[in-house]
Structure 1
C-alpha cells in the first residue's frame, strides 16, 4: 500500500492509502474537490472512508463524495452519523478494507467521541496527537486526552503518526519555549524549519520520534518536571499534561 496526503484548507491533510490496483481508502475528507481531483489524476477507485470525529474540516466532503460514489462505506464514530457515516464503529472494533485490518481506538479529548484507526504501521489519529503536540480540548478534559495519549504510546516505535494538520512548526516553537536546551527538540526543530521553508510536509512522523520531541509524551521527564517547577509545583504526569495544554492554548 502507498500512503498519500492531500492538502486541504489552510493546513489540513486528507490521507489516502492506495494499493497497486488503484483501490484506495480516504481518511477525514474535510472537502471533496481536492479528493475528487486526486482520484481522477491517479485513477484511484475509493473503497471506503474513515472518519475520526465530527468536526467539519474532517467530514465536510463526505456527502459530496457519496454522491459521486453512492456505494461507498463510511466508517466513523457515533458522533459522525449525521455527517455521512453509514457504518458506526467503536473502541476495539476491527475494520477490514482491502489488505488491511484497522483496529478502532477510542481517544476522547478533542471531542468526546474521537477515534483513531490503526493498522501497522499506520495510525490515523485525526486531531488527537500531532507531531510535537496534542489536540485542543473542545469537548473532553485534559484527563481524557492524557489517557488517550497513554493508549497511543503503547503502540510500536515504528508507528506512523498520520495526523490531520500541519502544526509541527508551531508545536516545536512551543516545545523550545519550554525546554530551549533540549538536544532532540532542537534537532527536530531545525529539520522542521528546513522542510517548511521548502513548503514540504513534516508528516507522517514516527512514534519513536514523538517519544523524543513531543512534550505531551514526556510528562514523566525529569528535565521537564524541573523546568515546570520553576513556575509551579506539579509532579504528577496528569498535572503536567494539563499544565502544558493550558500553556499551549495561550502560546
Structure 2
C-alpha cells in the first residue's frame, strides 16, 4: 500500500492510496491535473470526499470524464451533486481491498465526514497537524465533539488532512504552550521536512494529542493560556475551545 499526497493549489493535498495492482483511491481532488499527472499506471478505484468546499471537490467532474464509472462517495449534502453514494456516521465503505468507517465530524461544515481505516484517517479540514479547521458552518460544541471523536482513535493512526498548514499552526501552538517539549520537537521536525521539500504529513494521532492545542483544551497549561488571553474566567470545555478558536482566528505570527 502506497500513500501519497499530491500538492494542489497553494497548500492543498489530494491524497492517493495505491495498492500493488495499481488500483488507487483519490481523496478530496480539488483539481484534476495533479491526479492525471500521477496516473501513469494507476487505475482509480474510487473517490472519497470529506466536504463540499470547491478546493476539495473541484476536480471530480474532470476525473469522471476520464473514468466515468468511478464511484464517488461523499457526505449527505446536496451541494456535492456528483456523489454516487452518500454516507453518514457509522457507515462502512468498501472499495477494492480497502475498508473504511465513516465518522461524522461537523464543525468546519455541518456535513463534514472523515474516513478511518487501514491505520489511516482522511479528515479533510476538521483536524490539521497542530490545528483544526475554521468554523464556517458548525458550532464550537460540534467541532469540539468532532475533535474528541478523532482524538479517541488509536495513537498510531496516520492523520491525512487537507492542507499543509503545520508550520503556520506551529507558530500559534508555540504561543499557547511554549514549554511543551513534544511540541518543540514537532516544530523542529516539520521545519526540517519543509526545508528539504517534503510534506509534514501524515502526522500521527499520538503526536497530535501531545502537541495540538485544539486537542488539549483540558490540559492546565493550555487552559491557563486561554484564560490569560481572554482576560476573564472561562468555564467549561466548550467555552475554552471557542475562545481558543477565536484566538487563532485573529492570530498573526
Which bin holds the TM-score, normalised by the shorter protein?
A: over 0.9
Q: 1:54 aligns with which of 52, 55, 58?
A: 52
Secondary structure of 2:39 counterpart:
helix
Secondary structure of 1:223 counterpart:
helix
Give the equivalent residue in structure 2 for 1:138.
Answer: 136
Instruction: Please tell me whether the aligned partners of residues 177 and 213 of structure 2 are also in contact (alpha carbons under 8 angstroms).
Output: no
Give the equivalent residue in structure 2 for 1:106.
Answer: 104
Give the equivalent residue in structure 1 for 2:5.
Answer: 5
1:193-232 matches, cutoff 5 A: 193-230=191-228, 231-232=231-232
2:191 matched to 1:165? no
Kindly state the Cα deviation for residue 192 of structure 1 after the two structures are TM-superposed: 1.3
Secondary structure of 1:79 counterpart:
coil
Kindly state the Cα deviation for residue 84 of structure 1 after the two structures are TM-superposed: 1.4
Q: 2:190 aligns with which of 189, 192, 209?
A: 192
Structure 2 vs 1, CA of residues 137 and 49 (structure 1 numbering), >3 Å: closer, same or farther?
A: same
Instruction: Please tell me whether the aligned partners of residues 108 and 148 of structure 1 are also in contact (alpha carbons under 8 angstroms).
Output: yes
Give the equivalent residue in structure 2 for 1:38.
Answer: 38
Give the equivalent residue in structure 2 for 1:238.
Answer: 238
Whole-Å Cα distance in 2 between the matches of residues 132 and 234 of structure 1? 22
Say how many residue pairs are matched.
249
Instruction: Please tell me whether the aligned partners of residues 159 and 206 of structure 1 are also in contact (alpha carbons under 8 angstroms).
Output: yes
2:125 matched to 1:97? no
Give the equivalent residue in structure 2 for 1:156.
Answer: 154
Give the equivalent residue in structure 2 for 1:177.
Answer: 175
Q: Where does structure 2 lack aligned partners over 5 or more consecutive residues? A: none
Give the equivalent residue in structure 2 for 1:16.
Answer: 16
After TM superposition, the structure 1 stretch with the greater mean CA deviation from structure 2, 236-245 or 161-170, is 236-245
Whole-Å Cα distance in 2 between the matches of residues 186 and 67 of structure 1? 46
Give the equivalent residue in structure 2 for 1:84.
Answer: 82
Give the equivalent residue in structure 2 for 1:28.
Answer: 28
- What's the C-alpha RMSD, in Å, of the aligned pairs? 1.2
Whole-Å Cα distance in 2 between the matches of residues 226 and 23 of structure 1? 49
Instruction: Please tell me whether the aligned partners of residues 54 and 83 of structure 1 are also in contact (alpha carbons under 8 angstroms).
Output: no
Kindly state the Cα deviation for residue 228 of structure 1 after the two structures are TM-superposed: 2.5
Instruction: Please tell me whether the aligned partners of residues 140 and 242 of structure 2 are also in contact (alpha carbons under 8 angstroms).
Output: yes
Instruction: Please tell me whether the aligned partners of residues 30 and 58 of structure 1 are also in contact (alpha carbons under 8 angstroms).
Output: yes
Instruction: Please tell me whether the aligned partners of residues 8 and 14 of structure 1 are also in contact (alpha carbons under 8 angstroms).
Output: yes
Secondary structure of 1:188 counterpart:
helix
- Superimposed CA distance per residue, residues 107-129 of structure 1 (whole angstroms, 9 cap, x where no aligned partner): 00000000001103000000000
Instruction: Please tell me whether the aligned partners of residues 24 and 44 of structure 2 are also in contact (alpha carbons under 8 angstroms).
Output: yes
TM-score normalized by structure 1? 0.96
TM-score normalized by structure 2? 0.95
